[in-house]
Amino acid sequence: MNCKSNFICPLLVAAVSAGLASCQTVQTTQSGAVGVERTQVMMLSSAEVNKASQQAYRKTLQEAAKKKALNRDASQVQRVRAIAARLIPATSAFRADAPRWQWEVNVIASQEVNAWCMPGGKIAVYSGLIEKLNVTDEELAAVMGHEIAHALREHGRERASQQAAQSTAIGIGAALLGIGNAGASLANIVADVTVGLPYSREFEREADRIGVELAARAGYDPRAAISLWQKMGQAGGSAPPQFLSTHPSPENRARDLTDYAARVMPLYQAARRR
């Protein structure tokens, strides 16, 4: 076990000493041209998180299909899948295994301005995002690149690990007190952390930076991320999209995106020449 200093370590130590979990320090991605480097502590394996993700994704698609909201507009589906087909090969710059993941890309008909990528490459783009923001292909590539980046960095696994550490600690406390532990299934946790709960600023910064590089390598103008997030902020007037509440939008986000888009411009220009 190699935890280094991390806020969840006391919990992990408690969990491990109780024989309930083990902790790994990992480097999920190469740093890329944008230089994302941060050691991550994981309690859950990729295999178990990806299996849970598959279950959660299946369930989401089934529910959408029941409401006749799954891939309703063939032209939107074709558009989103064509962009994914360019972004996915670009993931090899960050991790060699990613292009071979079982990627899935679907469009959910919904008023909601939303998009996400569950662990292991399970993508959904909501029609509300495409229509309400009137996105260009470059902007769509920006939002999809950002969401794919969360999956490459395994932010869902990291977040679920933090949750598991907490609930294990709660479980231990509860066991000591003789109280039962309710505990959600891992599939629910994975769905929650991907779709419903905000990621930290640090995770968002990493996804922004890797996202612009993925877009650039796929031949999409990385500067479109700036207008995408501006449109996102303007959408809905006084009631901004739910998406923004799970994607904290600090004032310096536009500055960071401008900076990193400039750094990856040579990759974009090289991709355009191919």
**Residue 52 near residue 169, CB atoms below 8 Å:** no
In angstroms, what is the minimal distance from the CB of 84 to Zn ion?
17
Which letter does DSSP use for residue 93 in this model? G
Instruction: Between 209 and 223, name the residue whose CB sits nearer to Zn ion.
Output: 209
CA angle 69, 72, 73 (to 5 degrees): 140
- Give the C-alpha separation, 8 to 163, whole Å: 10
Active site residue 206: no
- Give the C-alpha separation, 136 to 70, whole Å: 22
Instruction: Between 105 and 207, name the residue whose CB sits nearer to Zn ion.
Output: 207
Longest dimension (CA), the chain: 66
In angstroms, what is the minimal distance from the CB of 13 to Zn ion?
30
247 binding Zn ion? (CB under 5 A): yes
214 binding Zn ion? (CB under 5 A): no
In angstroms, what is the minimal distance from the CB of 173 to Zn ion?
32
34 binding Zn ion? (CB under 5 A): no
Instruction: Between 151 and 189, name the residue whose CB sits nearer to Zn ion.
Output: 151
- Give the C-alpha separation, 84 to 99, whole Å: 11
Catalytic residue chosen out of the listed positions 139, 147, 204, 206 = 147
118 binding Zn ion? (CB under 5 A): no
Instruction: Between 168 and 227, name the residue whose CB sits nearer to Zn ion.
Output: 227
Q: Contacts with Zn ion: how many residues (CB under 5 A)? A: 2
- Give the C-alpha separation, 243 to 71, whole Å: 20
207 binding Zn ion? (CB under 5 A): yes
Measured between alpha carbons, how far apart are the two ends of the chain, in Å? 45
What value does the CA radius of gyration of the chain take, rounded to a whole number of Å?
19
CA angle 213, 140, 218 (to 5 degrees): 35
Instruction: Between 170 and 254, name the residue whose CB sits nearer to Zn ion.
Output: 254
Stretch that binds Zn ion, among 67-75, 115-123, 130-138, 201-209 (CB under 5 A): 201-209
In angstroms, what is the minimal distance from the CB of 4 to Zn ion?
25
In angstroms, what is the minimal distance from the CB of 205 to Zn ion?
10
By CB under 5 A, name the binding residues for Zn ion: 207, 247
Q: Which residues are catalytic?
A: 147
